Amino acid sequence: MIAVRGNTFFLSTDNTSYIFGVTDEGLLEHYHYGKRVDVSDEAVTDSVRAMREKVSHGKGTTINYAKDSLTVTEDMLLEVSSVGKGDLREPFILVRYPDGSSTSDFIFKEAVVLDTPEMLKGMPSAIPAGEDVKQLKVVLTERVRPVTLVLYYTVFEKCNVITRRAVLVNSEKENIIIKRIMSAQLDIDEAGLKAITFGGNWGREMKRTDTIVKNHTFVNATASGVSSNRSNPFVMLTKADATEEAGDCYGFNLIYSGNHYEAVDVSGFYKTRFITGINPQNFEWVLEPGEEFETPEAVMTYSAAGFRELSLNMQHFVKRHIVRGKYADKARPILLNSWEAAYFNISESRILSLAKKAKEAGVELLVMDDGWFKGRNDDTTSLGDWTEDKKKLPGGIEGLARKVNDIGLDFGIWVEPEMISEKSDLYEVHPEYAMTVPGRDNSPGRNQMILDLTQPEVREYVKNSMRRVIGAKGVSYVKWDMNRMFSDVYSKALSPVRQGECAHRYVLGLYEILKTLTEEFPDVLFENCASGGNRFDLGMTAYMPQTWGSDDSDAYERTFIQTGYSYGYPMSTVTAHVSACPNHQTLRNTPLDTRFNVAAFGVLGYEINLGECNAEDFKAIKAQIETYKEWRDVFFGGDFYRVDDTQWMVVSPDKKRAVTMIWNGLCNPNEFYRKIKTVGLAEDKTYHVYNVKLRHNIKQFGSLVNQVAPVHVKQDSLMHNTIAKFVKMDGEVEDYTVSGEFLNNVGIKLTQAFGGTGYNSETRLFQDFSSRMYFIESID
């Protein structure tokens, strides 16, 4: 809901209020963003007066806004800030005018409430998705320059989300230079807040970092050309003592896939400013007369009840208003990807062999990863030459897809369309397509270069080459990869004075390509990938409903990575695979059931040579897939909760079914008792809680078996292996029927874990990296 009372604006969601107004000087003053407050018409005047800053005299050596004003912008909560008028904090906008000056003073002109939101023209926006979504359009004009700044606020009531963006319009007779323009700014009347960010590197994405910001400036940013695994654009700003269940929390994200910048700036007056938008580093945009520049859309949410409620707001928003198309609400197929099973060693016979075993296991989609196109036997060659290698695929893509379809599986394919290899037919013919700086050696990255998507002819080449691949009959899934960050950023299509536009124009070019292809192939499931999570953001999610969360498929590492994503993204956007052990990234061994349990909480897939699995593991994988299919609607469509550091839970929207999982790092001898509590169940319902009984391989006990064996058994001997083949140890059984109120507030103490002495069928064998999944069904 949006209410305009005079020059005060009340934006309300189900649980939050965002209020700002216009000062006597025409500045936009921020009043409140937090718990919902309903102000009656009779109380508006006093309420606004109560929220405003009161100034009766000057403040030390600060700068007054104007000669006839005591206003000090450095000590105000503002909706938009600039430089030159006394505000020394991080600015929202920085423009260089034709005379070389950079002072800006944007003042209120008018505002209008739009029943149908205006959408961005060149970038993805959040969509109404059938809901009654209102938008506030606020027009500001520069006090002495013919330049207009338009602010957009879009209210998504049910998700408790408000989005913001800006458009700058140049009505000067000469060019102006945009040095910085953000998407959102939030000023808060306190300091010492905690900035929670998520970053890392390849193979260790989304590691949470907490930073208390008491003064100065804290920055979360990337200049890598992509949203990056170093600093994801999702950021939380919370009370220092906020927890999962309590405390004021703000959450922010950016619907953008390039260089981004988030800053938490605390002033000398102990006010905190948060800004987010395009990274101003190496950014400079020439705005000609009559042109406009639009920023990406920023996403904001608030929770008075800790991280958990904030995460639910973001989950619901992304599911409803970012993900779109055929697969927005459609559960995704279980896939087998060929990468770790074959790497570049692709052939039709190998793919068909994988497909047959995949079908036997219950897999629904076979994906042929890298190595299928002409000359591609390693990562040094052939990117850009998207023609199948007929030696590997004699029947081409369509011939292979038909044979895979005949087996009973859908067929998918891997591509990396934004890249070019120096050893490629494309580079021989069009070296100018590569992003390089003339006269300078290019810095290598994974033996490949980036295609310059700022060039129209390059974009057309990518579209046409992908039309041939994606349009091949039988292709129903595409994994779109991007395995390189930017270096030597330069566009041969831009003049020297416009090189600061290159990185952003690349993103705009990418969006043009993705929009074209996803609209031309609406039935194809696209999966985003950038060496894992190097471009996991809401911009890509608007075109591709799922993203490969990390190249690290180690189950234990994935518990941290997927927990990180869960703060700002629904698990239905995070793909996760069961892979071989030792794991190819860590060489760690983890139990097969743990690998499944962790992956099942994302979009499940397998990345393993099923033909080389032993009979016991293959049988287990088949059972895993059957279980997942039975519970897929809960994993895919449910609300995800972090119960504690080693417990996840997902609950169906109707609260009739749920799954929770606990896991272990390193086990301890003489282990303590463990309890599981639940979150999100209906307290007035009665639930059946149970686990799937495990049967343990006797070799897990090593030589300890001799404590009960009638004869001595040498570890790993023929006798030991023979016994292990026929004798299994029964695992524990957990089976309870209790109320949701009991589960949420009291919980269940689990059976005793093995801790060095004693074992029977009521003992929980919980070794290093073990896990358990518990299923919960309403019986009402």
Active site amino acids: 481, 551
Can you read off the two tokens belonging to residue 39? 């102000």
Residue 235's DSSP bridge partners are: 252
- C-alpha–C-alpha distance, residues 85 and 65, integer Å: 6
* Contacts for 46 with CB less than 8 Å, ≥ 6 apart: none
Residue 196's DSSP bridge partners are: 210, 236
- C-alpha–C-alpha distance, residues 669 and 728, integer Å: 23
H or E stretch including 406? helix 396-407
Residue 739's DSSP bridge partners are: 686
Can you read off the two tokens belonging to residue 716? 């790993």
CB 91 within 8 A of CB 166: no
In sequence order, which ranges of 475-554 are alpha helices (DSSP H)? 502-520, 538-541
- C-alpha–C-alpha distance, residues 769 and 753, integer Å: 14
| CA dihedral (276, 550, 663, 780) positive or negative | positive
CB 274 within 8 A of CB 190: no
Return the residue matching tokens 């992908």: 466
Pairing of strands 335-337, 603-607: parallel
Residue type, 41: D
- C-alpha–C-alpha distance, residues 275 and 277, integer Å: 7
User: Which of 504, 523, 31, 13 lies closest to 282 in space, CA to CA?
Assistant: 504
User: Which of 481, 647, 649 lies closest to 571 in space, CA to CA?
Assistant: 649
Can you read off the two tokens belonging to residue 693? 């009984």
Cα first-last separation, the chain: 37
**φ, ψ dihedrals at 351, nearest 5°:** -65, -40
- C-alpha–C-alpha distance, residues 182 and 779, integer Å: 51
- C-alpha–C-alpha distance, residues 616 and 611, integer Å: 12
Gyration radius (Cα) of the chain, Å = 28
**φ, ψ dihedrals at 141, nearest 5°:** -120, 145
**φ, ψ dihedrals at 131, nearest 5°:** -90, 160
**CA separation, residue 531 to residues 31, 228, 254, 314, 484 (Å):** 43, 10, 21, 24, 8
Can you read off the two tokens belonging to residue 652? 């169906």
Can you read off the two tokens belonging to residue 279? 């990274």
**φ, ψ dihedrals at 744, nearest 5°:** -70, -30
Can you read off the two tokens belonging to residue 384? 């850009």
- C-alpha–C-alpha distance, residues 554 and 576, integer Å: 10
Can you read off the two tokens belonging to residue 196? 């929670």
- C-alpha–C-alpha distance, residues 340 and 348, integer Å: 16
CB 732 within 8 A of CB 772: no
What SS3 state is found at 34? Answer: strand
What SS3 state is found at 436? Answer: coil
Using alpha carbons only, give the angle 530, 532, 537 rounded to the nearest 5 degrees.
Answer: 65
CB 236 within 8 A of CB 567: yes
- C-alpha–C-alpha distance, residues 216 and 88, integer Å: 11
User: Which of 165, 171, 164, 173 lies closest to 148 in space, CA to CA?
Assistant: 171
